């Protein structure tokens, strides 16, 4: 894969690679700013950072007036979700704004293509100030990536549970319609749905949904 | 049934992704044996990142964006080439009612004339400066965008220094009208429907359009990861043919209602079809009851709109140099020259026997009227391609052009 880092940005990264440990840095704990419109996910990240010993964590949900906040917070690391439509604005601000006293570059460890991919896959990106050593940032990015993934998994499971419940409801309605219109027992109604689904190579819930829709169209009699 | 070519592409929910969207939705890609998967994105930064790590093979991009990637102006980038342009024109400059009132007091008319509007804006800006008021704040969608460069070109040609006399910030397109209504910005340059949206809300006036600042000028393109293009030349050529047929379909007024309905779907723009009509017809409401038909407002196909002119890329390059985004060096110029690939466009479309420009670059601003030009295949009409200030950009005289713009700025 021909990914390459641009020259300007390579210089920036080279700059902080060559710096001795903590050069020019007074505070020992990194100030981390989390920008995420999703409040639940942001608090999961924040909790993770605090557990990992980062005490200077700020969470922002709304980017209005963010230049001023960045000037106040002076973050060393900024974590942003990729769904945020303001990423272009933020990247531009990191490079140009007078409010940003130290240049901020995207965190890209060019020796580690996998970690860039993992971050984008998880839906997160990190930016770091000039002069910060990569090994101090990597654990923060890794933590953000794993928490983003955990959040997505949780959201997916919730969605699956919700749609599972929905299918069960629609299957129950379809069984009711069959029982009423064809005088079947509940078990026979379910067997008929299952057989039809198998024959048509479709899901039972899809067959049930078609039946409920058709019944709704054909007459008020089946309407519950 | 599985197709010969699998292609994954990213796009931003903007109307000028239409040619790519229609290629997928109306079967033009399938007819070329391509399974085209589209992914909607939320920022140009995401498009850039996903192209770089290989999630996307190609994407709907701002015209200068592939240049910015190759010139090293972006944090994460892969070498990107442009074998196809998605259209000409489509943007407007919209300002707040308060700025319009100030401009009207200095002779602005609802006629979209860039020179008249610019002179009125300059007078209004000087008034504000004399009264020690804050500089006006304009927004564009991205620093490396046609919007930024055409806004700056217009202002500078009207004697307004875009770096010193106003402030330019970045705002995502869907937020523009709202930022204007709430007074966070005083004006913006963006594609449709985000200009008509402010006019419809009664919170903005369209003062000029891209189609008058520089007639038939480049906007969005298809940016392709070069490594993928090198690896899959047949897939790319098939896609360029699909895009060609799609663009022709999009241009035909008989298909506009259907196109607007396709783009209106939630997975594309998610806005009512009626909102898409001004960009398709060029009939704009300017605010305050004024309406105007704009010639060549947005062309997805006509006038060789899909041809990736090297002179378009090189003009973007001169503006990157002009505004300090990149240094003018022989190496950088060579990178800019190699980014747009008319050779790939030509070789892919040659079997179709359609009209193809014979040259890779043209002198921009030389055609004062629509002109039939020598080309292979059937007849081809280009232009007009004039800049509103009458300047000419000759890509063979790039040093002179850059020097002239630099000295104009120093004198101002």
Question: Mutating which of B52, B57, B75 best tests the A interface, going by the most A Cβ atoms within 10 A?
Answer: B75
Question: Can you give the residue ranges of every domain in chain A?
Answer: 7-155, 161-222
Q: Are the Cβ atoms of A2 and B78 closer than 8 angstroms?
A: yes
Please tell me if residue A82 touches chain B, with a CB cutoff of 8 Å: yes
- Torsion sign (Cα): A88, A93, A94, A95: positive
Taking CB atoms and an 8 Å limit, are A116 and B76 in contact across chains?
yes
Distance between CA B205 and CA B189 in Å, rounded?
Answer: 12
CA angle (A87, A24, A53) in 5-degree steps: 65
B243 near B306, Cβ under 8 Å?
yes
User: How distant is the Cα of B81 from the closest Cα of chain A, in angstroms?
Assistant: 13
Domain A7-155 shares a fold with domain A161-222: no
Establish, for the pair of chains A and B, how many residue pairs have beta carbons separated by less than 8 Å: 88
Chain B nearest C-alpha distance from A201 (Å) = 17
Cβ atoms of A141 and A88 closer than 8 Å: no
- Tell me phi and psi for residue B3, to 5 degrees: -85, 165
Q: Report yes or no: A212 at the B interface, CB cutoff 8 Å.
A: no
- How far is it, in rounded angstroms, from Cα B80 to Cα B316? 15
Residue from the list A2, A83, A116 with its beta carbon closest to the beta carbon of B42:
A83
Nearest one of A18, A112, A37 to A81, comparing CA atoms:
A37
Chain A partners within 8 Å of B49 (Cβ): 82, 120, 125
Residue to substitute from A85, A109, A116, A126, interface B, most B β-carbons within 10 A: A85
Nearest Cα residue to B75 out of A13, A31, A111: A13
Residue of A3, A7, A8 with shortest CB distance to B78 = A3
Lookup: tokens for B167: 């402030």
Write out chain B residues lying below 8 Å of A7, CB-based: 72
C-alpha distances in Å from residue A146, one per residue of A110, A117, A123, A128, A153? 20, 13, 11, 19, 10
* Nearest Cβ partner for A8 among B55, B72, B143: B72
Query: In the predicted model, what is the mean pLDDT of residues A78-98?
Result: 89
Quick check: B75 and A82 CB within 8 A?
no
Residue of A nearest to B170 (CA): A89
Q: Do the Cβ atoms of A88 and B74 come within 8 Å?
A: no
Alpha helices in B71-217 (DSSP H): 97-104, 114-130, 146-157, 176-181, 194-200, 210-213
Cα distances (angstroms) measured from residue B268 to each of A150, A165, A167: 29, 29, 28
- By C-alpha distance, the chain A residue nearest B49 is A120
| pLDDT value at A207 more than 50 | yes
Q: Report pLDDT for A28.
A: 67
pLDDT at A116 > cutoff 90: no
pLDDT category at A103 given cuts 50, 70, 90 is confident
Min distance B301 CA to chain A CA atoms (Å): 29
Quick one: pLDDT at residue B374? 67
Kindly list the residues from chain B whose CB atom is less than 8 angstroms away from the CB atom of residue A84: 42-43
The pLDDT mean for chain B works out to 95
Query: What pLDDT score was predicted for residue A186?
Result: 93
C-alpha–C-alpha distance, residues B392 and B407, integer Å:
16
Rounded to an integer, what distance in angstroms lies between the CA atom of residue A79 and that of residue A146? Answer: 13
Contacts of A120 in chain B (CB under 8 A): 49-50, 53, 55
H or E element, residue B291: strand B290-293
- Into which CATH architecture does domain A161-222 fall? Orthogonal Bundle (1.10)
Structural fold of domain B1-300: D-Maltodextrin-Binding Protein; domain 2 (3.40.190)
Give the span between the Cα atoms of B364 and B8, in whole angstroms.
34
Residue B242 to residue B21: CA distance in whole angstroms: 11
Strand-pairing partners, residue B355, are none
Q: Do A105 and B75 touch (CB under 8 A)?
A: yes
- Least Cα distance to B147 among B280, B341, B14, B337 occurs for B14
Nearest partner of A116 among B44, B53, B246, B374, judged by Cα: B53
Q: Specify the residue for token string 């919700």.
A: A162
Residues with Cβ within 8 Å of residue B100, at least 6 apart in sequence: B108, B205, B207, B287, B288
Query: Which chain B residue lies closest to A127 (C-alpha atoms)?
Result: B75
pLDDT of res. A14: 41
Which residues of chain B fall short of a pLDDT of 70?
1, 374-378, 410-412
Contacts of A11 by beta carbon, 8 Å cutoff, 6+ apart = none
Q: Do B53 and A4 touch (CB under 8 A)?
A: no
Residue with tokens 């980017």: A63
- Which residues does chain B have within 8 Å of residue A8's beta carbon, measured at their own beta carbons? 72-73
Residue A26 pLDDT exceeds 70: no
Q: What distance in Å separates the CA atoms of residue B147 and residue A145, rounded to the nearest whole number?
A: 34
Residues of A in contact with B174 (CB under 8 A): 85
Asked if A158 reaches chain B (Cβ–Cβ under 8 Å), the answer is no
Q: Residue B301 carries which DSSP code?
A: S
Interface of B with A (CB under 8 A): 42-46, 49-50, 52-55, 69, 71-79, 141-143, 169-172, 174-175, 184, 225-227
Closest alpha carbon within chain A to B50: A120
CB of B358 within 8 A of CB of B375?
A: yes
Contacts of B245 (CB under 8 A, 6+ apart): B23, B28, B31
Higher pLDDT, B215 or A13: B215
Architecture of domain A7-155: 3-Layer(aba) Sandwich (3.40)
Output the CA torsion B187→B192→B197→B198 (10° steps): 10
Instruction: Note the pLDDT of residue A21.
Output: 42
pTM, 2 dp: 0.87
Instruction: Search chain A and give the residue with CA nearest B225.
Output: A2
**Beta strands of B153-288 (E only): which ranges?**
166-170, 187-191, 204-209, 220-225, 283-287
Q: Which residues of A touch B76 (CB under 8 A)?
A: 3, 5, 9, 106, 108, 116
List for chain B the helix, strand, coil content (%; round to 5): 45, 20, 35
Output the CA–CA distances (angstroms, integers) from residue B205 to A102, B161, B248, in the order listed: 38, 22, 32
Q: Give the C-alpha separation, B153 to B140, whole Å.
A: 13
Contact B112, B297 (CB under 8 A): no
Q: Do B49 and A82 touch (CB under 8 A)?
A: yes
What's the DSSP call for residue A126?
Answer: E
Q: What confidence score (pLDDT) does residue B378 get?
A: 62
Rounded CA-CA distance B286/B220 in Å is: 24
CA distance B326 to B316: 11
């Amino acid at each position: 894969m021909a990914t390459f880092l641009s020259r300007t940005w390579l210089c920036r990264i080279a700059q902080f690679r060559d710096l001795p440990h903590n050069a020019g840095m007074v505070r020992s704990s990194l100030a981390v700013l989390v920008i995420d419109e999703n409040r639940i996910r942001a608090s999961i990240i924040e909790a993770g950072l605090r557990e990992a010993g980062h005490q200077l964590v700020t969470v922002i949900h709304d980017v209005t007036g963010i230049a001023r906040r960045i000037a106040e917070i002076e973050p060393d690391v900024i974590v942003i979700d990729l769904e945020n439509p303001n990423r272009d604005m933020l990247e531009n601000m990191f490079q140009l704004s007078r409010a940003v006293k130290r240049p901020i570059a995207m965190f890209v460890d060019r020796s580690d293509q996998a970690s860039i991919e993992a971050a984008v896959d998880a839906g997160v990106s990190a930016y770091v100030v000039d002069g910060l050593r990569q090994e101090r940032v990597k654990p923060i990015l890794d933590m953000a990536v794993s928490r983003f993934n955990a959040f997505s998994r949780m959201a997916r499971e919730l969605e699956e549970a919700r749609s599972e419940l929905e299918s069960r409801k629609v299957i129950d309605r379809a069984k009711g319609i069959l029982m009423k219109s064809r005088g079947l027992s509940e078990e026979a109604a379910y067997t008929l749905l299952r057989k039809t689904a198998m024959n048509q190579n479709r899901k039972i819930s899809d067959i049930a949904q078609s039946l409920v829709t058709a019944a709704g169209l054909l007459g008020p009699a089946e309407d519950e | 049934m599985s197709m010969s070519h699998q292609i994954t592409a990213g796009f931003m929910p903007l109307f000028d992704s239409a040619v790519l969207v229609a290629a997928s939705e109306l079967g033009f890609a399938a007819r070329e044996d391509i399974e085209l998967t589209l992914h909607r994105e939320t920022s140009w930064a995401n498009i850039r990142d996903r192209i770089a790590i290989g999630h996307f093979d190609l994407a709907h991009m701002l015209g200068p964006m592939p240049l910015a990637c190759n010139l090293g102006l972006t944090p994460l980038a892969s070498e990107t080439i442009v074998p196809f342009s998605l259209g000409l024109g489509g943007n407007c400059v919209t300002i707040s009612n308060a700025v319009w009132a100030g401009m009207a007091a200095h002779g602005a008319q609802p006629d979209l004339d860039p020179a008249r509007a610019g002179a009125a804006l300059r007078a209004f800006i000087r008034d504000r400066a004399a009264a020690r008021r804050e500089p006006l704040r304009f927004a564009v969608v991205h620093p490396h965008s046609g919007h930024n460069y055409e806004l700056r070109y217009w202002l500078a040609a009207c004697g307004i220094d875009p770096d010193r006399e106003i402030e330019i910030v970045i705002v995502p397109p869907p937020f523009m009208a709202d930022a204007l209504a709430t007074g966070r910005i005083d004006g913006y340059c963006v594609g449709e429907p985000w200009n008509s949206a402010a006019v419809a809300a009664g919170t903005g006036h369209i003062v000029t359009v891209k189609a008058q600042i520089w007639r038939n000028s480049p906007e969005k393109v298809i940016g392709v990861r070069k490594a993928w293009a090198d690896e899959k030349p047949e897939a790319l050529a098939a896609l360029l043919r699909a895009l060609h047929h799609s663009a022709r379909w999009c241009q035909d007024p008989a298909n506009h209602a259907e196109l607007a309905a396709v783009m209106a779907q939630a997975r594309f723009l998610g806005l009512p079809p009626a909102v898409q009509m001004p960009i398709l017809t060029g009939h704009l409401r300017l605010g305050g009851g004024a309406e105007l038909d704009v010639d060549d407002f947005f062309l997805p196909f006509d006038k060789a709109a899909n041809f990736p002119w090297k002179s378009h890329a090189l003009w973007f390059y001169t503006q990157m140099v002009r505004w300090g985004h990149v240094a003018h060096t022989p190496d950088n110029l060579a990178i800019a020259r190699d980014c747009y690939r008319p050779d790939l466009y030509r070789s892919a479309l040659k079997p179709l026997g359609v009209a193809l420009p014979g040259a890779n670059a043209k002198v921009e601003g030389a055609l004062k009227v629509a002109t039939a030009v020598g080309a292979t295949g059937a007849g081809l009409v280009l232009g007009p391609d004039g800049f509103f200030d009458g300047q000419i950009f000759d890509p063979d005289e790039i040093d002179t052009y850059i020097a002239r713009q630099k000295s104009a700025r120093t004198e101002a």
